[in-house]
Amino acid sequence: MTEDAITEHFIDLLAGGHFQVADDNTFFFHNSDNKFPFATLVTKDSEFDNASNLDRPGVFRLNIGVGKETFHALFGATDTAAIDYTALDRLMPHPVYGKMYWVSVINPSDRTFEKMKPLISEACSLAAARDKNK
């Protein structure tokens, strides 16, 4: 999958939400408040998040905020110290926001992205529910 193909999927999914590009990273929002994205495409390391070595050529990471139950079903009591956060095409807890039930994958293949579509839908639904409860 390419960043553009993933962005197109989100555009189709959002139909009323939007995305914003900042510093070559893309943030996907359920509505236009720009307060908290439900998914991101990150293209480079930052001072707060460098575990994935995103500064490699052509490397990006898709991040999605899922529900607590889904996160635990995917990862259980995974020892985060044992995770290789630089691995390509592997679904894993987000290296920084895993504690907030975010998942990530670096350069997902078409097959992995297909498996992630229900997670993306869940993340969008959770964002919609948060917006509705405001």
Q: List per-block mean pLDDT (blocks of 10 residues) for the chain, which spans 134 residues.
A: 92 81 90 81 92 96 97 87 94 95 97 96 88 67
The pLDDT of residue 39 is 95
- β-strands 39-42, 61-65: how paired? antiparallel
Under 8 Å CB-to-CB from 21, ≥6 apart: which residues?
27
Burial 10-41 (b: 16+ CB within 10 A, else e): beeebeebebeeeeebbbbbbbeeeeebbbbb
The pLDDT of residue 33 is 67
Which amino acid appears at position 46 of this protein? S
Among candidate residues 98, 52, 106, 108, the one with its CA nearest the CA of residue 78? 98
55 alpha-carbon distance from chain centroid = 17
The pLDDT of residue 16 is 62
The pLDDT of residue 134 is 62
The pLDDT of residue 48 is 86
Q: Which residues pair with 28 in a beta bridge?
A: 19, 39
The pLDDT of residue 31 is 75
Q: Which domains, from first to last, does the chain contain? A: 3-132 (3.90.1150)
| Cβ proximity of 119 and 127 under 8 Å | no
Q: How far is CA 6 from CA 15, 50, 62, 79, 88, in A?
A: 15, 22, 9, 29, 16
